């Protein structure tokens, strides 16, 4: 064997080993990025644990897959509250479908006393303007927009549809935010404010809502409509989280303010403490694909 031949074989071998090592590192890095859900020891200062999901009401495989993952998470990390951010009944909000698209998929959670608090999506108002859903006890809606509190967290549910009573709703929202004594404020509606998905960011909503969120220290806004998962960095003190892949998915991109985005079927979880909120994105493979922390005062 001549020298050139030996050099070629030696270099080829080194290249193969290097490629294999690099491939292992990349594979290992990816495996570390996602971790299986597990029971998190309850810390004594945990105030509240809740879950959010949206665009669920199909009654088909995707919804059941997400619901199954939500139930497993509950078994390991109990919670008693789910924010259901609209499009609760496809395609036209027909309340007669409620068993197929809500009661049956989430039966294990409902039996354990988990309460769902819903808002109206654009599909929900196609039948009788969503009134049957507002009146349905399982959605725990006190109106088309309403507020409720749990521990030190106050939630504000909005009607973000085009035919909403915007004049009165905005007056109500500012009043409720101004008198709230809760250190944690979470607003949710169906439509996004910031989004890298199919519909993109809503300039009118940015102009309308973000000054109120900043003024009254709203730490988190939750929405659906975009069938994906996207978490922003804190924008003027508020984190915006889309959790609309509760039954189906669509592609999503990234923006300069995006912390994490994916089109995977998923839901989000939140552990609230006195000084921070720990956020996780969880897929139907029962793995945590995103972790983030929202500080109480993140301005």
User: Could you report the per-residue pLDDT of 159-191, keeping only the tens digit for each?
Assistant: 999 999 999 999 999 999 999 999 999 999 999
- Tell me what pLDDT residue 23 has: 37
Residue 33's pLDDT is 64
Mean pLDDT along residues 97-106: 98
Residue 18: left if φ>0, alpha if ψ -120 to 50, beta else—which one? alpha
Asked if 219 and 156 touch (Cβ cutoff 8 Å), the reply is no
Residues facing residue 187 across a β-bridge: 156, 221
The token pair that represents 79 in the structure block? 């919670």
Q: Measured between alpha carbons, how far is 28 from 10 in angstroms, rounded to an integer? A: 27
> Phi, psi at residue 243, to the nearest 5°?
-135, 50
pLDDT, tens digit, 9 for 90 and up, residues 24-64:
333 333 334 688 988 877 778 999 999 999 999 999 999 99
pLDDT surpasses 60 at 127: yes
CATH number at 40-295: 3.60.21.10
Residues 6+ apart with CB under 8 A from 131: none
Please answer whether residues 187 and 221 qualify as being in contact, where contact means their C-beta atoms are separated by less than 8 angstroms: yes
Q: What would the 3-class secondary structure string for the chain be?
A: CCHHHHHHHHHHHHHHHHHHHHHHHHHHHHHHHCEECCCCCCCCCCCEEEEEECCCCCCCHHHHHHHHHHHHHHHHCCCCEEEECCCCCCCCCCHHHHHHHHHCCCHHHHHCCCEEEECCCCCHHHCHHHHHHHHCHHHCCCCCCEEEEECCEEEEECCCCCCCCHHHHHHHHHHHHHHCCCCEEEEECCCCCCCCCCCCCCHHHHHHHHHHHHHCCCCEEEECCCCCEEEECCECCEEEEEECCCCCCCCCCCCCCEEEEECCCEEEEEEECCCEEEEEEEECCCEEEEEEEEECCCC
pLDDT of residue 19: 37
Please list, in sequence order, all residues whose beta carbon lies within 8 angstroms of the beta carbon of residue 78, skipping any fewer than 6 positions away. 49, 112
Residue 4 pLDDT class (50, 70, 90 cuts):
very low
Q: In what order do the strands lie in the sheet with 239-243?
A: 146-150, 153-157, 184-188, 220-223, 239-243, 229-232, 258-262
Domain locations along the chain: 1-33, 40-295
Asked if the model's pLDDT at residue 270 lies above 50, the reply is yes
């Amino acid at each position: 064997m001549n020298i050139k031949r030996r050099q070629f074989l030696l270099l080829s071998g080194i290249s193969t080993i290097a490629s294999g090592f690099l491939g292992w590192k990349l594979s290992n890095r990816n495996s570390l990025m996602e971790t299986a859900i597990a029971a998190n020891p309850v810390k004594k200062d945990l105030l509240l644990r809740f879950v959010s999901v949206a665009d669920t009401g199909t009654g088909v495989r995707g919804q059941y897959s997400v619901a199954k993952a939500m139930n497993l998470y509950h078994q390991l990390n109990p919670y008693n509250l789910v924010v259901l951010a609209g499009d609760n009944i496809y395609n036209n909000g027909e309340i007669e479908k409620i068993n197929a698209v809500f009661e049956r998929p989430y039966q294990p959670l409902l039996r354990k006393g988990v309460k769902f608090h819903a808002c109206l999506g654009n599909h929900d108002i196609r039948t009788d303007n969503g009134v049957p859903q507002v009146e349905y006890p399982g959605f725990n809606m006190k109106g088309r927009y309403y507020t409720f509190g749990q521990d030190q967290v106050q939630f504000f549910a909005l009607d973000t549809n085009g035919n909403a009573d915007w004049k009165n709703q905005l007056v109500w929202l500012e009043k409720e935010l101004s008198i709230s004594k809760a250190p944690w404020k979470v607003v949710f509606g169906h439509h996004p404010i910031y989004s890298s998905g199919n519909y993109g960011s809503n300039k009118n909503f940015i102009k309308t809502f973000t000054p109120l969120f900043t003024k009254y220290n709203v730490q988190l806004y939750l929405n659906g409509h975009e069938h994906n998962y996207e978490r922003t960095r804190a924008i003027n003190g508020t984190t915006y989280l889309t959790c609309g892949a509760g039954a189906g998915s669509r592609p999503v991109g990234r923006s300069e303010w995006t912390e994490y985005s994916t089109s995977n079927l998923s839901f989000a979880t939140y552990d609230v403490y006195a000084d921070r909120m720990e956020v996780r994105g969880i897929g139907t493979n029962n793995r945590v694909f995103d972790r983030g922390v929202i500080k109480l005062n993140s301005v």
